[in-house]
Amino acid sequence: MQRGRFGHRPRNDPRYYGGEYPFIQTGNIVKASAANERIEFTQTLNELGLSTSRLFDEKVLVITIAANIGYTAILDYAACFPDSLVALTSKDDSLSIEYLNAYIRFIRVYIENLAPQAAQKNINLKQLGKLPIIIPKKDIQSEIISIMEKAYSKKIDKENQAETLLNSIDDYLLQELGIVMPPEEENTLENRMFYVNSSQVNGGRYDPASYSKKSEFYKCPTSIYKWINFSNIIMSAQTGLPVRQDFRAQNGMHPYYGANGIIGYMDEYTHDGKYLVIGQDGYIGNHYIVNGKFWASNHNWVIKLNTNLCNYDYVKAFLDFWNYSHLVTGGVIPKLTQSSVNKIPIVLPDLKEQDKIALEIKHIYAKSKKLEQEAQKAIDLAKVQIEKILLGGNS
């Protein structure tokens, strides 16, 4: 059992990166664990980076011990990693790394519960060293490995089916709305360099992408139905209110929406009713339909729609699909102003057609959710099988 190392601070110092030694991070392990796949790395260390780290050049099981706790994946190539990861190996051939990987995934929740409650959970080597490990005979280990591999294969298949369904929504909308997307432009000098009148640029954006042919299409969509500015179906648009972290209630009744969704709960609320919530800075392009009492942060636009003209679910689906980045302003932090919200183009069929489209998309989401539940059920059933094998006297 060896902890990773990266001694230099700050850790993002570019002088230590960009070499030939793979550098594994916690996120790489969590991703590999979820899909039961080989660990992928996104960073490398150079010789200077290697001097402050540690190279693991044998096959090891890597486990996360900070923030995301108890996730495992097998590392089968030489790599370095920080002290938030620990390498596990077997003392002898009575315990295979593949079985240990399956076993720790089986008890991951137990491992996570060992961590003290803190802002960032973590466990240490002493706690890790005291983990109870059941070591059955080698043929039983092989059986357990096979059970987990089959379960993960089924899980991945179900998740891929769910993703395919969700990806089909865009094509469905294109077909139903009679929208023909412009072809992708070739990366030629002629397409990269073009002229616009100064009157178009004055007082507006200066980035070339905003004046490309594709951007012009998103400003004025071509459809078998009319398109209007978003302002024509908005009854009211308000920003939310900021609230300090320590004012949020641990067990509050009402969700607190940031630009990226629910980020906490509150005892009080800013809105009550059905609204479309749109991120206005940072996470622009996120849209939520909220029905009931909730607190909206100042990073959102909270919009009441005219239901005599539009269906909430249809409008959300269209916004999820449509690219309105040409209306986003700001530099480091993107910003969607109220004026920009009003100018978002919306293709608007009659209400009956909107209802039909919204219902079909709901069905797609329901099928996708069912597949995701079946994916998780495959793992849960495998764990039940393993529990019976380990605790049922078959070893």
pTM: 0.80
* Alpha carbon distance 201, 203 (integer Å): 6
Instruction: Specify the length of the chain in residues.
Output: 395
pLDDT (tens digit per residue) in 39-96: 999 999 999 999 999 999 999 999 999 989 999 999 999 999 999 999 999 988 899 9
The pLDDT, as a whole number, for residue 270 is 94
- Tell me which of 2-16, 300-314, 330-344 is least confident: 330-344
- In the predicted model, is pLDDT for residue 167 greater than 60? yes
More confident residue, 332 or 112: 112
CA–CA distances in Å: residue 108 to residues 37, 115, 116, 176:
17, 12, 15, 46
Task: Using the Cα atoms of residue 87, residue 89, residue 91 and residue 95 in order, give the sign of their dihedral.
Answer: positive
The pLDDT, as a whole number, for residue 220 is 84
* Token pair recorded at residue 101: 């990987």
* Token pair recorded at residue 217: 């299409």
- In the predicted model, is pLDDT for residue 394 greater than 60? no
What element of type H or E holds 257? strand 254-258
- In the predicted model, is pLDDT for residue 373 greater than 70? yes
* Alpha carbon distance 207, 90 (integer Å): 57
CA–CA distances in Å: residue 263 to residues 38, 144, 254, 310:
32, 38, 11, 29
CB-facing half-sphere around the CA of 233: CA atoms within 13 A:
24
Side chain identity at residue 128, one-letter code: L
The pLDDT, as a whole number, for residue 395 is 43
Of 107, 105, 127, 108, residue with least CA distance to 116: 127
The pLDDT-based confidence of 211 (bands split at 50, 70, 90) is low
* Alpha carbon distance 97, 142 (integer Å): 11
The mean of the pLDDT values for the chain is: 90
Q: Render 175-235 in DSSP notation, one character per residue.
A: HHHT--PPPPPP--HHHH-----HHHHTTS---GGGGSHHHHHHHS---SS-EEEGGGGEE
- In the predicted model, is pLDDT for residue 338 greater than 90? yes
The pLDDT, as a whole number, for residue 2 is 94
CB-facing half-sphere around the CA of 21: CA atoms within 13 A:
19
Side chain identity at residue 209, one-letter code: A
* Token pair recorded at residue 206: 């200066």
Side chain identity at residue 297, one-letter code: S
Q: Three-state DSSP class for 263?
A: strand
Helices assigned H by DSSP within the chain: 26-35, 47-51, 97-106, 108-112, 125-129, 138-177, 189-192, 198-201, 213-219, 312-321, 338-343, 351-391
The pLDDT-based confidence of 202 (bands split at 50, 70, 90) is low
The pLDDT, as a whole number, for residue 122 is 86
Burial of 295 per CB tally in 10 Å (0-12, 13-18, 19+): buried
* Alpha carbon distance 370, 377 (integer Å): 10
Side chain identity at residue 269, one-letter code: Y
* Token pair recorded at residue 344: 């978002």
CA angle 48, 52, 57 (to 5 degrees): 95
The pLDDT, as a whole number, for residue 207 is 64
pLDDT (tens digit per residue) in 172-184: 999 999 998 877 7
Q: What percentage of the chain carries pLDDT values higher than 70?
A: 91
The pLDDT, as a whole number, for residue 221 is 86
* Mean pLDDT value of segment 355-372: 98
Contacts of 182 (CB under 8 A, 6+ apart): 213, 214, 217
Side chain identity at residue 282, one-letter code: G
Of 23, 38, 164, residue with least CA distance to 82: 23
Of 295, 294, 296, 316, residue with least CA distance to 305: 316
The pLDDT, as a whole number, for residue 187 is 72
